[in-house]
Structure 1
Amino acid sequence: MNTRTSEGIAQAAREAVEAALWAPSIHNTQPWTFAVSGDEISLRADPDRRLRVSDPTGRQMTISCGAALFNVRITLMALGYEPEVRRLPNPEGPMLLATVRVRPGREPGEHTRLLYGEVQRRRTHRAGFTALPMPDPLTDALVREAAAEGAHLAPVRSDAPARVLAALTGAAQDVQAQDRQFVLELMRWARPPGSARRDGVPVAGYPTDPRRTYPQHFASRDYSRGNEWGAATEERVSTSTGLVALLCTPGDAREDWLIAGEGLQRMLLHASAYGVSAAFHTQALEMCELREFIRRHLCSGEAPQMIMRMGFVLDESESVRRTPSDVLE
């Protein structure tokens, strides 16, 4: 446990920034920068890493930064400090998403330690799941975790809406695959074999030969684009769709996007602690007409922020992260 000296606070702030780097982000773009001054951590979005074609409003960039913000918070709490958070503190500085002051706290509880222990273990999955079903109590717990941050995790428990989401995902994937700008943007973040980059999706992060999942098939991003890249597909590969879920927020402003990221990461860390991984499918949410359709017909009027599948996997995916010196201003 760090002492409450200025040196201890500075060390806690550094550890919080290091933990933030392990947050999920669209195409592993890691679109954030940090500054540490005394007892304050500043989180800024990095507009150079925003997906200008598929994320023109910066919604997905802000959700990614919200996930990083939650990692900062849970790390400080695990170290015995209290994070004092101000979200969107400067209306004239839209890239400044949050400031976090490191305040004296208390001994962390068991749940805080549980979530913190998963920060570096959690991985994004990009294939099928095993046939082992998600236990209802665990699913209910994930709903509560997201709600604790102001987000709404809505498990899709019936076939019809799951089929609709799968069909919309496939339609969006097919349209984007014919759009040269979409393809070029995706290729920017697809790392070729042997790449030394510390961002983007590595070749071991997705299967070479993605298998169709059942009962619903959700189209995957084509990171290899005709190349034989990716992790070798084993005969025992899992092909279950897993549990389909939507993450929604009551509103659709920048603060809602930030909260969605915090709720997403809290839920993902809890899931990881029980051996559950998540695969994300945001293609349909990148097309305004399809996103509006999902909002009206599948989200009861709430704003859909994420479409995902969750389940149990046999092998963990590989991931890479930039170093603290890359993101500290």
Structure 2
Amino acid sequence: MIDRSVKQVLEAALEAARWAPSVHNTQPWTFSVSEEEIGLRADTDRKLRAGDASGRELLISCGAALFTMRTSIRSHGFEPVVRVLPDPDRPSLVATIRPGAAAPPDEATGLLGEQIERRRTHRAGFTGLPVPDRLLDRLVAAAAAGGARLTPVRAPGAVDVLAGLTRAAQGVQAGDRVRSLEVIRWARPPGSSRKDGVPADGYPRRAAPTDPGFPQRDYSWRHDWGGDGGAGTSIGVPALLTTTGDGREEWISCGQALQHVLLLAAAHGVSAAFHTQALELDLLREFLRRELCSGEHPQMIMRLGVTFDGTSAVRRPLADLVR
């Protein structure tokens, strides 16, 4: 018998949502609680004006928070009832979610729930330990269950294309002062008390080179911030996350699929490094769609691999998020 009150379940879901991944750890969401339902809203004040003018990455981030709440509610013994974009007159209302019927959690749900606060984004090379093919198959299935397609990129030529486009996009963006300032806005200097953005030990000062090279964001732009970046030089397994459509619903679905993949990967000791620079330039994103994604819309470029580097994580307190 489920003896947890709805209030406790909602509080746990809100606490879990804080740990969802977001672009530059902007945490672009707020929540409202009305009776037995949580409203998830996009915080457009935290949107990247230069890098994400359409709000695509913002809604992917919100989708990740939504899946995190769904997982938490399931972990506490209830089936989540979700409505996505429920009110056309309130476009910032991404979704509502509430506990439904009692449903004892299964082992898979418990496994995902345990990783919510443990999962970390990696921003350097990986060790040479392989990602098992069996796990990759499970990650592909997890993405498909959320309405997205995860495609591990194995062919050396395709890997070179992804790496080359990432380098080209990073080079263009590094020369754009507005974009560079936007990135550095979300880079936390050592000793900072901020509860958002990327901590100084969360990105490398000078990452060890990989072959081929997948450059990271330059969070240490014009500063000598950052950690040592670890000793790993493997690129891991590059992968593309795509959707058939390219609207707000698909972006939210992609975020949910992404978080499912990340939590499942983390449960098996695998981390992800993200490279969305090329997806923020329309011409390069369209090239990827046509040439590498079979006409589907690329929403995320990532590398999956094993790392033993421990990094800190910061999140805003619930008092700043619940309105």
Structure 1 counterpart of 2:292, from 285, 290, 298: 298
1:209 aligns with 2:206: yes
CA distance in 1, matches of 2:303, 2:208: 15
1:199 aligns with 2:196: yes
1:232 aligns with 2:228: yes
Report deviation, 1:297: 0.6
Question: Helix, strand or coil for the counterpart of 1:187?
Answer: helix
CA distance in 2, matches of 1:83, 1:303: 28
How many pairs are equivalent?
A: 323
| Superposed CA offset, 1:153-199 (max 9, x none) | 01001111110010000101010111111011111111111110000
When the two structures are superposed, what TM-score results if normalisation uses the length of structure 2? 0.98
Which letter maps to 2:197? G
- Which residue does 2:241 correspond to in 1? 247
Which letter maps to 1:179? D
| Superposed CA offset, 1:34-72 (max 9, x none) | 011111010000000000100001000000000000000
| Superposed CA offset, 1:251-273 (max 9, x none) | 00100000000000001000000
Report deviation, 1:88: 0.5
- Which residue does 1:31 correspond to in 2? 28
Which letter maps to 1:319? A
Which letter maps to 2:315? R
What pairs with 1:1-329 in structure 2 (closer than 5 Å)? 3=3, 8-214=5-211, 216-233=212-229, 237-329=231-323
CA distance in 2, matches of 1:232, 1:296: 37
CA distance in 2, matches of 1:49, 1:166: 28
CA distance in 2, matches of 1:26, 1:2: 36
Is 2:63–2:251's contact at 8 Å kept on the other side of the alignment?
yes
Which letter maps to 2:224? E
Is 1:243–1:311's contact at 8 Å kept on the other side of the alignment?
yes
Is 1:125–1:316's contact at 8 Å kept on the other side of the alignment?
no
Q: Cα gap change, 1:106/1:29 in structure 2, threshold over 3 Å: closer, same or farther?
A: same
Is 1:279–1:308's contact at 8 Å kept on the other side of the alignment?
yes
Question: Helix, strand or coil for the counterpart of 2:131?
Answer: coil
CA distance in 2, matches of 1:293, 1:207: 29
CA distance in 2, matches of 1:35, 1:201: 26
CA distance in 1, matches of 2:30, 2:278: 28
| Superposed CA offset, 1:117-160 (max 9, x none) | 00000000000001111111011010001111111001001111
Is 1:245–1:309's contact at 8 Å kept on the other side of the alignment?
yes
Report deviation, 1:217: 1.1
CA-based RMSD of the aligned residues comes to 1.1
Question: Helix, strand or coil for the counterpart of 2:19?
Answer: coil
| Superposed CA offset, 1:209-249 (max 9, x none) | 211112x2101111011322111355xx1100000000001
CA distance in 2, matches of 1:39, 1:71: 18
Q: Cα gap change, 1:233/1:218 in structure 2, threshold over 3 Å: closer, same or farther?
A: closer
Task: Structure 2: state its 5+ residue gaps.
Answer: none
Question: Helix, strand or coil for the counterpart of 1:166?
Answer: helix
Runs of 4+ aligned structure 1 residues displaced above 4 Å come to none
Report deviation, 1:3: 2.0
Is 1:119–1:269's contact at 8 Å kept on the other side of the alignment?
yes
CA distance in 1, matches of 2:296, 2:229: 38
CA distance in 2, matches of 1:295, 1:41: 35
Is 1:2–1:12's contact at 8 Å kept on the other side of the alignment?
no
Report deviation, 1:317: 2.2
Is 1:124–1:277's contact at 8 Å kept on the other side of the alignment?
yes
Which letter maps to 2:149? H
Report deviation, 1:2: 5.4
CA distance in 2, matches of 1:233, 1:168: 22
Which letter maps to 1:177? A
Which letter maps to 1:197? R
CA distance in 2, matches of 1:2, 1:220: 46
Which letter maps to 1:274? H
When the two structures are superposed, what TM-score results if normalisation uses the length of structure 1? 0.96
Is 1:155–1:245's contact at 8 Å kept on the other side of the alignment?
yes
Task: Structure 1: state its 5+ residue gaps.
Answer: none
